[in-house]
Amino acid sequence: MRVYPEFIRQMGGERGANERWDIIRCAGIRGAPKTSIATNTMHVPLDGDETARHIRAHELMHVRLSPPDLKPWIKRGKASFDSLIAAEEARINRVLSKLNFKPETHLLDINDGNNAYTCAKAKDMKRLVYGTSAVYGTASWDSWLKGIDKACDELGDSSMLESIENVADSIGEILDTHSSELASDKPIPGSRNKLLNRGFAVTERIAMLLDKCAALAEETGTIPSFKKRNDEHLSADMNAKFGDLCQGPAPLTRLHNGNLGKIKLASPTGRNPRRIHRMLTDPYRRIFDRTKRNSGGVVLIDGSGSMSVRSEDILEILNAAPGATVALYAHQEGSKNVPNFWVLAKDGKMVDKLPTRHGFGNGVDGPALRWAIKSKRFQNEPLLWVCDGQVTDGKTDCTYSHLTAEARVLAIKAKAIMHRHIGDAVSYLKKVAQGQAQSGPLLIGEVSCGY
């Protein structure tokens, strides 16, 4: 059986017959079939049965739809490499089913049940969560659940199986938003990087869910459920509220060189020519003084889920806006008196090492926004909120319409500028320093609805 990946369109470009691919025969077991778009290498079974045929179709869809390089996605800081790989397996299987293939019937690995049992028995939560995404939508799904169920019986705990089923339901809900199949390689609107396409954005959302589940599972020993309630329930439960802000220790031991207050600059206009010596040396004759106050800024960072925050990010913020105040929040659902808020930089000082987060939910968006508003040194100081636009309550980490509305009112009052990524916030602060920044409020996600 021959395979011709050179005739597959990849990322909007035509592949021609002059392109050479190395097709290497392998067994039809998980981990053996693989495709490297960068090196034009494909390992697939070449048998004539339906399982081998579906494996080949699966790998060809990787050639057709998967990015040849994941670095641009990893640099976004929203999901890890391992979670993106596992999530892409689920998306490709869903695309196959929409193209009249039947991965739920023919894409089978007889070892998946044993793998699930081994992971569940050893409580290897990370492999179990990622494996769930890779197996979801294939003929191995039933055996995967049976392997977990067997381990749960031996461990005397059925919660693991229920949690995995909830994770699978959440994956399915995200995949239901994948409206396009072969057209999903179109770039994300507003993105100049063609590798950032709409279809893989669905993969990224699944990967964020997997990272969040895996992180909490490794910390608590149980796999959490992140299923959202329906709109009727969200609107009805008005008792839900944000958690209380609990500031944790974060020593500001590192100094940052920069102008924190007012500075004087040379100007061609003014009243008193204090720099008369520049009349002969400065072609623009900037002989006057102009006082400029540092724009500073308050940067509030949502640290929930797979949000990646590094010490280098804080340094980049201070380089763009010396004297900026930077704070991070991440709440453990249902917790009290557990640190969920940290000040990472203030008055030209910053942390040398990022504090350990105790939770990976939102939970305290409202109180964190109120703190940020009070921290503004002057009325027009910019307030940047790095968040995906979704806020949750402090008890269940679920979304509620009245909490979203409360956060929206606070953000509008603060004239907040929302960004999904820290890099975008840094770029905005640089524009503020140059006097080219757009004024707020500028909201995104669910918080922006109705604004």
Could you give the CA distance from residue 347 to residue 298 in angstroms, rounded to a whole number?
Answer: 11
85 has pLDDT over 90: yes
Instruction: Write down the H helix ranges in 221-349.
Output: 231-236, 278-281, 311-320
| Matching CATH number, 254-259+295-448, of 3.40.50, 3.10.450, 3.90.1690, 3.40.390 | 3.40.50
**What confidence category does residue 130 fall into, taking pLDDT thresholds of 50, 70 and 90?**
very high
Q: Which of helix, strand or coil describes residue 329? A: strand
In degrees, rounded to 5, the angle at the alpha carbon of residue 168 between the alpha carbons of residues 224 and 211 is 50
Report whether 350 contacts 369 (CB < 8 A). Answer: no
Residues 35-53: what's their mean pLDDT?
A: 88
Look up residue 385 and give its DSSP letter: E
In degrees, rounded to 5, the angle at the alpha carbon of residue 74 between the alpha carbons of residues 72 and 78 is 120
Most confident of 22-31, 281-290, 336-345: 336-345
**In this structure, is the dihedral angle defined by the CA atoms of residues 153, 159, 160 and 166, taken in order, positive or negative?**
positive
- 241: Cα separation from own chain's centroid: 24
In 166-287, where do the E strands start and end?
A: 254-255, 262-267
In 16-147, where do the E strands start and end?
A: 22-25, 34-36, 41-44
Q: Token match 């994941």: residue?
A: 70
242 has pLDDT over 80: yes
For the chain, what percent of residues have pLDDT higher than 70?
Answer: 84
* Number of C-beta neighbours around residue 411 at 10 A: 29
Which helix (H) or strand (E) segment holds residue 105: the answer is helix 103-106
**What confidence category does residue 83 fall into, taking pLDDT thresholds of 50, 70 and 90?**
very high
Which helix (H) or strand (E) segment holds residue 131: the answer is helix 125-135
Q: Looking at residue 145, what is its pLDDT?
A: 93
Q: Which of 88, 173, 92 is nearest to 130 (CA)?
A: 88
Report whether 188 contacts 197 (CB < 8 A). Answer: yes
Could you give the CA distance from residue 155 to residue 124 in angstroms, rounded to a whole number?
Answer: 14
Q: Which of 428, 440, 430, 422 is nearest to 326 (CA)?
A: 422
Most confident of 76-80, 92-96, 258-262, 352-356: 92-96
Structure tokens that stand for 165 in this block = 């089923």
Q: Which of 434, 174, 423 is nearest to 299 (CA)?
A: 423
Q: Looking at residue 434, what is its pLDDT?
A: 79
Residues 6+ apart with CB under 8 A from 324: 296, 297, 298, 299, 317, 318, 345, 429
Q: Looking at residue 227, what is its pLDDT?
A: 47
Residues 298-302: what's their mean pLDDT?
A: 94
When the pLDDT of each residue in the chain is averaged and rounded to a whole number, the result is: 82
What pairs with residue 300 in β-bridges? Answer: 327, 385
What pairs with residue 385 in β-bridges? Answer: 300, 418
Residues 6+ apart with CB under 8 A from 84: 70, 73, 74, 203, 204, 207
Provide the residue ranges of all domains of the chain, joining segments of one domain with +.
Answer: 5-220, 254-259+295-448, 261-293
In 27-90, where do the E strands start and end?
A: 34-36, 41-44
**What confidence category does residue 385 fall into, taking pLDDT thresholds of 50, 70 and 90?**
very high
Structure tokens that stand for 38 in this block = 């960068």
Most confident of 51-55, 346-350, 378-382: 51-55
Residue type, 380: N
Report whether 386 contacts 420 (CB < 8 A). Answer: yes
Residue type, 350: M
State pTM to two decimals: 0.53
Could you give the CA distance from residue 338 to residue 164 in angstroms, rounded to a whole number?
Answer: 27
